[in-house]
């Protein structure tokens, strides 16, 4: 870390153009030679390690034979030449890979995001469990299940160590579940235990599991968006929701489809730091917002990951406290971890130039994550998306059972004026969060981010001589990823696959998550269209009674146009 600080902190003070430093540091932190190899890095590592061992063993044997038979050492056979070449190649590879990585680990403890330095799913830090308890010895637990359950019930064995000490996640979940049942005196029969891969969530998605909750997944679609059809998975227990969204999709498809554009793509994290005086806090604000410093700060920030690209820093003061909202691209990841690591890199670096800076928290709520906040509504967070469609007047009548003028009027009175009366913050819509949350759960997004992801203004206008309806949704803070977090799990990953956005986009990192954001917006548009039509036609209560109260087969109850 010191090494980086020295090379970076001087340019920050100097008046030299930042571009010079960008070139130097780019090459220093450049991608390793191993990146160019066609095989996954773990395979090339194994290959070159094996080549190294075999060639060195063979050469030593040949050396011993030559000494025994007094053959001159410089007389070499073809196989010996091959072994020498193999030895040199593997030695160069191993030194360049492990040597550099080893040195880097001393230079910067924050450059560890890339897959070849960490397991492919790096475990998220777990302050509740890990920081409070000292690590326990990893000796495996002995005894049968009954003995271990009793020990957990009596408190001799903490429940949270079961996975690591048993080395069997399914067994750990079963034992914990039985112990909880005994402690509470309540069974968990309805909560399934089997049929889930507990290894896949270890250190990543959920601690101390005892089972999993089942949620139905329905499909709305085809959703015709930017000329392509998508079948949208929605996990929900709200009757009508999928059927209604499906009806909206039908109206969109019958009207030449929706068009969606990503306006902005940047995840944010805003640490808060404190100085002795507001004047000093203001000095740092001016420093951070000076365009001449940006390039150098971006280099420091972007070391957090190959995919991190700092876009901007917005500062705000509250007395001597400074809030710095860093915004960065995060490839196909939703990116909270990535942006937090980048922020930490910059804070470490700034400490050199501002030693009186007191870092209060890596998150100072100006980010703002999972809380309603005007900053996200105005500035955007994650993907800012607009989506529109022109619904033909005849489709409004035939499929949506209402009229263009009724929809336009209702939208003004309810979504615009009504929300203004309510003092809404980003809530100028009918039910965006219904669709956002159902898709988030199905595709492994963080459902708590539905708060800002559901910010949406729905606009409706009569066009083409008042015959057709122009509808749009503008959503500034859709926070989605197709790698990391819950997206890796089997069910969620299957839903992403259905949409054609599973995992990382290798050709254009970030393209999968941006496409997912446009699908979310277009699905919201379908949901808005259908619910607003139901309200305009006075159908809402009727339809809820039909779908939510009936014990009959829902598919048979669907109206013919649904």
Question: What is the binding site for ligand ADP (CB under 6 A)?
Answer: 113-115, 122, 305, 307, 330-338, 481, 483-485, 504-505, 509
> Closest separation between CB of residue 384 and ligand ADP, Å?
18
Cα 29 to chain center, whole Å? 24
Q: And the tokens for 555? A: 């598919």
Report the C-alpha gap between 403 and 410 in whole angstroms.
Answer: 11
DSSP-assigned letters across all residues of 13-54 = HS-S-HHHHHHHHHHHTPPPGGGG-SS-HHHHHHHHHHHHHH
Minimum distance, C-beta of residue 256 to ligand ADP, in the bound complex (Å): 32
> 269 Cβ partners below 8 Å, 6+ apart?
325, 326, 336, 339, 340, 342, 343, 362, 363, 367
Nearest to 476 by CA among 327, 337, 344, 322: 327
Among the options 314, 401, 470, 544, which is catalytic?
Answer: 544
Q: How many of the other CB atoms lie within 10 Å of CB of 536?
A: 23
- What SS3 class is residue 186? coil
Q: How far is the CB of 165 from ligand ADP (least distance, A)?
A: 27
Nearer to ligand ADP, 396 or 483 (CB): 483
Rounded CA separation 349/108 (Å)? 11
CB of 122: closest distance to ligand ADP in angstroms? 6
Of the residues 111, 178, 446, 452, which is catalytic? 446
The C-alpha atoms of residue 128 and residue 209 are separated, in whole angstroms, by 15
Q: Which of 66, 370, 401, 470 is catalytic?
A: 370
DSSP type of residue 330: E
Residue number closest to ligand ADP, CB atom = 331
How far is Cα 244 from Cα 531, in angstroms, rounded to an integer? 7
Q: Which helix (H) or strand (E) holds 298?
A: helix 291-302
Q: Which is nearer to ligand ADP, 336 or 438 (CB)?
A: 336
Instruction: Choose between 338 and 357: whose C-beta lies nearer to ligand ADP.
Output: 338
For 13, the token pair is 């003070």
Considering the complex, state which of residue 163 and residue 332 has its C-beta at the smaller distance from ligand ADP: 332
544 catalytically annotated: yes
Nearer to ligand ADP, 239 or 503 (CB): 503
CB of 144 to ligand ADP, least distance (A): 38
- Specify whether the backbone of 423 is left (phi greater than 0), alpha (psi in -120 to 50) or beta: left
Least distance in angstroms from the C-beta of 481 to ligand ADP: 4
CA 499/CA 221 separation, integer angstroms: 11
Q: Which is nearer to ligand ADP, 453 or 530 (CB)?
A: 453
Nearer to ligand ADP, 334 or 529 (CB): 334
SS (H, E, C) 91-106: HHHHHHHHHHHHHHHH
Catalytic residue among 80, 112, 207, 238: 238
465 catalytic per annotation: no
Nearest distance in Å: CB 2, ligand ADP: 25
178 noted as active-site residue: no
CA distance 499 to 217: 14
Which residues belong to the active site?
238, 370, 446, 544
């Amino acid at each position: 870390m010191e090494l980086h600080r020295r090379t970076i902190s001087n340019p920050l003070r100097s008046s030299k153009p930042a571009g010079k430093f960008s070139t130097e540091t780019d090459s220093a932190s450049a991608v390793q030679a191993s990146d160019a190899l066609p095989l996954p890095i773990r395979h090339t590592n194994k290959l070159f390690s094996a080549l190294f061992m075999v060639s060195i063993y063979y050469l030593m044997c040949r050396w011993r034979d030559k000494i025994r038979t007094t053959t001159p050492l410089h007389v070499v056979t073809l196989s010996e030449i091959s072994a020498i070449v193999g030895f040199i190649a593997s030695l160069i590879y191993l030194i360049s890979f492990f040597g550099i990585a080893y040195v880097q680990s001393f230079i910067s403890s924050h450059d560890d995001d890339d897959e070849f330095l960490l397991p492919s799913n790096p475990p998220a830090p777990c302050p509740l469990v890990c920081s409070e308890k000292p690590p326990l010895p990893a000796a495996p637990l002995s005894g049968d299940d009954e003995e271990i359950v009793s020990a957990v019930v009596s408190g001799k064995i903490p429940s949270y160590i079961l996975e690591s000490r048993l080395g069997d996640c399914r067994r750990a979940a079963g034992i914990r579940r039985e112990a909880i049942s005994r402690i509470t005196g309540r069974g968990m029969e309805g909560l399934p235990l089997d049929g889930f891969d507990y290894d896949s969530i270890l250190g990543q998605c959920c601690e101390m599991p005892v089972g999993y909750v089942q949620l139905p997944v329905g499909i709305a679609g085809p959703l015709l968006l930017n000329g392509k059809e998508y079948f949208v998975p929605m996990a929900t227990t709200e009757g009508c929701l999928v059927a209604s969204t499906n009806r909206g999709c039908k109206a969109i498809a019958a009207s030449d489809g929706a068009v969606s554009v990503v306006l902005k793509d940047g995840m944010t994290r805003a640490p808060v730091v404190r100085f002795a005086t507001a004047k000093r806090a203001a000095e740092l604000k001016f420093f951070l917002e000076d365009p001449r410093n940006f390039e150098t700060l971006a280099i420091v920030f972007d070391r957090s990951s190959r995919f991190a690209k700092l876009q901007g820093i917005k500062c705000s003061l509250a007395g001597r406290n400074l809030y710095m909202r860093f915004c960065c691209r995060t490839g196909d990841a939703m990116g909270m971890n990535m942006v937090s690591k980048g922020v930490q890199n910059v804070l470490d670096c700034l400490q050199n130039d501002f030693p009186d800076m007191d870092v209060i928290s890596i998150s100072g709520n100006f980010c703002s994550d999972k809380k309603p906040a005007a900053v996200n509504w105005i500035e955007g967070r994650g993907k800012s998306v607009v989506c529109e469609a022109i619904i033909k007047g005849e489709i409004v009548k035939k499929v949506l059972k209402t009229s263009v003028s009724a929809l336009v009027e209702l939208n003004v009175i309810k979504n615009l004026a009504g929300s203004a009366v309510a003092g809404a913050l980003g809530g100028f819509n009918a039910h965006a969060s219904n669709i956002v949350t159902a898709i988030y759960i199905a595709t492994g997004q963080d459902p708590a981010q539905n708060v800002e992801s559901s910010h949406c203004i729905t606009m409706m206008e009569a066009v083409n001589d008042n015959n057709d309806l122009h509808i749009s949704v503008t959503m500034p803070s859709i926070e989605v990823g197709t790698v990391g977090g819950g997206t890796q799990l089997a069910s969620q990953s299957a839903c992403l696959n259905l949409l054609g956005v599973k995992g990382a986009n290798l050709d254009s990192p970030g393209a999968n998550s941006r496409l997912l954001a446009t699908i979310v917006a277009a699905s919201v548009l379908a949901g808005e269209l259908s619910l607003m039509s139901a309200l305009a036609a006075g159908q809402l209560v009727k339809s809820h009674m039909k779908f939510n109260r009936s014990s009959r087969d829902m598919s048979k109850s669907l109206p013919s146009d649904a």
